[in-house]
Amino acid sequence: MTPLHHIGDFFRDLVLLVPLWAARTIFVFVLLVVFIWVLRLSPERVSPCEIEERNWTNNLKLWAAIAIGLQIIIYLIL
Amino acid sequence: MQSGLTTLDYIIVAIYLIGTVGLGLAIGWKFKTGKDFFLAGRTLPWWAIGMSLVASDIGGTDIIGVGGAAYAHGLAVANFEWIGCVPAMIIAAFVFVPIFWRMGIYTIPEFMERRFNVGVRTALGLCWLIFMACNVGIMLYASARMLHSLTGFSEAACIWATAGMVGVYTIGGGLKAVVYTDVIQCSVMIGGCLLVLGIGLYDLGGIDGLREQLAALGERTENHTSLIVPADAKSPFPWPAILFGLAFILSPAYWIGNQAIMQRSLGAKSQFHAQAAFVWGAMLKILIPVIIAVPGLIAIAKFPDLATPDAAFPTLAAQLLPTGIRGLFLAAFIAALMSSVDSYLNASATVATKDFYLRFVNREADDNRILVIGRTVTLVLMIWGIGFAFFIQQAGENTGIYTIFQTLMSFFQGPALAMILTGFFWKRANGIGALSGFICGIICAVGLFILHNWHQSFGIEPLFRIEEPFLYFSIWSFVVALIVIIVVSRLTPPEPAEKTAFLKLNVEVSSNNV
């Protein structure tokens, strides 16, 4: 056993303490953080600059939120 | 599959191939400048880039390999397409893509020189060039093996045929040809795999039928429908590796720092199109595991005793699809492999031309000269790829060359991500720190790889308890690179203010269509 093995075993023992439901919660939490960040993006960062071109289909926030939202559902179910 | 192909199947494949190569050539013949060749003249629309991102990411070997991994280990392999892609693509779309596009760069190493220095650019460019050039050969060889098993043609013939077709339209049409042929390839790939999925599910009596059949296999398929696998499970995809190695390191490194990926968005007609392409790609990505991983589950339910997991997808296609439709599946497979080879060929040619030839050999080259050089370099790299494919074939997989190059990306992706993140978010990071961190991170990853794979020679236990711990290599190499960048940057003088001026672009992205 080298010091690297001891370091590896330490982290391995640590993650083995985490129950699977908690691991799933971490996955969903990470996605939820991204989801909230997307919702908080300013309109200027998610739409074309020309005001006349802005409409709901050109709002990337909507599509990004749908993509992340679907991920959250998938990781809650599977 | 081999014996099941008929003349009609081959006619369908031939129509697809002629159409793809013809489109690629038609696009390229009007090109006049290097910008046309490398960035498609910055004219690409979001929908084409998005489909190209997905097609490039899914190679022919991935269709077979992911189906095989789902057969052997279950749905956990889908993590590579879901949490291993979607969040990073969304973050890239709103944080990194706008700045890269507005800087007007051609390559990620070029960004490194703007932010740090030419040493960092050269080091990263060299890593990408070696990796991508060798990867062209690896993909040609791996795809030829698959094509050989599907069609019965010799491996050598498959290597020559694939390289010839991809080479012709990539040399002729550059990035634009690559992206628009990828659109066809993405459509054919999704269509072909959807057919296998639909017919397979119908044959089993729907999703409920699939669940019942999997349950009937008992303990063997216990974790097969779960995305999150225990840390101590006998699976290459335990949840800590997926979360910390894939979702936090390899995925952002790939979607933000991979030249073959980012080059597409740099060719977008506007910043908004570049961003929208990543969001569209992320939405398509949600579909991918359904069409390439679920067929692996269908295969284990129908054929639980296959000799090798990689036979899952081809067996399913051969058994379920009628004549003619089998040709469509074969076309989907060829589409997937061509879309990956052309992307890496084009990206490696861009790095070789922009980061080496134009940076060190001839900085004054005019547009026509750049176009000629770009095409010549693409041809040279294609020849190199063919040579490397035959080299691997001759050397044999047992020499470890194949495994080393398969793992190569995890060696420098983590350190490269550490450089990009500190370059973006920490003004105090400097070139000496970045280069030191990058080199130390790579040494760490290579060291771990050697200690793990040749542990018996050192008289020690294996370092990791899973068979292919490349996700763990990326975690440790990232951590080491980050620590070294921070420490060395703190101990050495900061970069001048103009090096970080681009960060102001981050608050000016409202002006989208520049």
Asked if the model's pLDDT at residue B197 lies above 70, the reply is yes
Residues of chain A contacting residue B241, judged by C-beta atoms under 8 Å apart: none
What is the predicted pLDDT for the residue at B4? 66
Residues on chain A touching B93 (C-beta within 8 angstroms): 60, 64
Residues of B in contact with A71 (CB under 8 A): 82-83, 86-87, 286
Rounded to a whole number, what is the distance in Å from the CA of B342 to chain A's nearest CA? 28
Contact between residue B460 and residue A2 where contact means Cβ atoms under 8 Å apart = yes
Residue B514 has pLDDT above 50, yes or no: no
How many residues in total does chain B contain? 514
Within the 7-26 window of chain A, which residues sit less than 8 Å (CB to CB) from chain B? 8, 12, 15-16, 18, 20, 23-24, 26
- Inter-chain CB proximity B510 and A44 less than 8 Å: yes
Phi, psi dihedral angles at B229 (to 5 degrees)? -110, 140
**Helix segments in B258-322, DSSP class H:** 259-266, 271-292, 294-302, 312-320
Q: Which residue of B has its CA nearest to A41?
A: B94
Does B510 touch chain A if contact means CB atoms closer than 8 Å?
yes
B214 touches chain A (CB under 8 A): no
Over chain B, what is the mean pLDDT? Answer: 83
**C-alpha separations of B207 from B18, B203, B214, B290, B312 in Å:** 37, 10, 11, 12, 18
Tens of pLDDT, residue by residue over B343-400, are 888 888 889 888 888 888 888 888 888 888 888 888 898 999 899 888 888 876 555 5
- What is the DSSP secondary structure assignment for residue B510, as one 8-state letter? T
Q: How confident is the model at residue B405 (pLDDT cuts 50, 70, 90)?
A: low
**B183 pLDDT above the threshold of 90:** no
Tell me which DSSP letter residue B232 carries: T
Which chain A residue shows the shortest CA-CA distance from B99?
A45
| Region B113-124 average pLDDT | 91
Residue B104 clears pLDDT 80, i.e. is over it: yes
**pLDDT for res B283:** 93
> What confidence tier does B404 reach under pLDDT thresholds 50, 70, 90?
low
- Name the token pair of B335: 């589409």
pLDDT, average across residues B486-507: 80
* Inter-chain CB proximity A67 and B247 less than 8 Å: no
For residue B39, give the nearest of B358, B259, B255 by alpha carbon: B259
Running DSSP on this structure, what letter comes out for residue B268?
Answer: B
Is B243 at the interface with chain A, CB within 8 A?
A: yes
Closest CA to B142 of B507, B393, B493: B393
Phi, psi of B224 (to 5 degrees): -70, -20
pLDDT higher than 80, residue B262: yes
pLDDT tens sequence across B411-426 = 888 899 999 999 988 8
For residue B505, what pLDDT is reported? 55
How far B506 CA sits from the closest chain A CA (Å)? 9
Is-contact B227 B82, C-beta < 8 A?
yes
Average pLDDT over residues B242-250: 88
| Structural Rg of chain B based on CA atoms | 23
Lowest-confidence range among B20-34, B155-169, B391-405?
B391-405
pLDDT band of B513, cuts 50, 70, 90: very low
Is B283's CB within 8 Å of A2's CB? no
Q: What is the pLDDT, as a whole number, of residue B396?
A: 64
CA gap B438, B415 in Å, rounded: 5
Residues of B in contact with A46 (CB under 8 A): 94, 275
* Contacts by residues B96-99 (CB-CB < 8 Å, ≥ 24 positions apart): B96/B256, B96/B420, B96/B424, B97/B262, B97/B265, B97/B271, B97/B274, B97/B275, B97/B278, B98/A45, B98/B271, B98/B274, B98/B275, B98/B505, B98/B506, B98/B509, B99/B424, B99/B502, B99/B503, B99/B505, B99/B506, B99/B509
Provide mean pLDDT across the span B185-199.
84
pLDDT number for residue B436: 94
Q: What is the model's pLDDT at position B512?
A: 42
Put simply, the answer to whether B240 touches A15 (Cβ < 8 Å) is yes
B511 has a pLDDT exceeding 60: no
- The model's confidence at residue B94, banded by pLDDT at 50, 70 and 90, is very high
- Search chain A and give the residue with CA nearest B447: A4
pLDDT at A33: 95
ipTM of this predicted structure: 0.90
Residues of A in contact with B449 (CB under 8 A): none
Higher pLDDT, B240 or B313: B240
Q: Let me know: does B28 contact B176? Beta carbons within 8 Å.
A: yes
**Longest pairwise C-alpha distance within chain B:** 69
What's the rounded Cα separation, in Å, for the pair B388 and B385? 5
Residue among A17, A37, A71 with most chain B CBs within 10 A, to mutate: A71
A-chain residues within 8 Å CB-CB of B464? 8
| CA-based R_g, chain A, Å | 20
For residue B330, name the pLDDT band (cuts at 50, 70, 90).
confident
Q: Hey, is the C-beta of A28 within 8 angstroms of any chain B C-beta?
A: no
pLDDT of residue A55: 74
Residue B123 confidence class, pLDDT cut points 50, 70, 90: very high
Residues of B in contact with A30 (CB under 8 A): 83, 87, 243, 247
- Identify the band that residue A63 occupies on the pLDDT scale cut at 50, 70 and 90: very high
Give the total residue count for chain A. Answer: 78
Q: Scanning the structure block, which residue is given the tokens 């030829």?
A: B144
pLDDT over 90 at B186, yes or no: no
- Give the range among B280-289, B432-441, B451-460 with minimum mean pLDDT: B451-460
Are A68 and B90 within 8 A, CB to CB? Answer: yes
Give the mean model confidence (pLDDT) for residues A2-26: 85
Choice among B107-121, B205-219, B347-361 with the minimum mean pLDDT: B205-219
Across the interface, whether the CB atoms of A1 and B460 are under 8 A apart is answered: yes
Task: Name the closest residue on chain B to residue A32, using Cα atoms.
Answer: B87
Residue contact A2–B83, C-beta within 8 A: no
Query: Which residues contact residue B353 at a Cβ distance below 8 angstroms, ignoring those fewer than 6 apart?
Result: B34, B38, B370, B373, B374, B377
Mean of pLDDT values over B34-62: 83
Nearest residue to B495 via CA among B214, B71, B120: B120
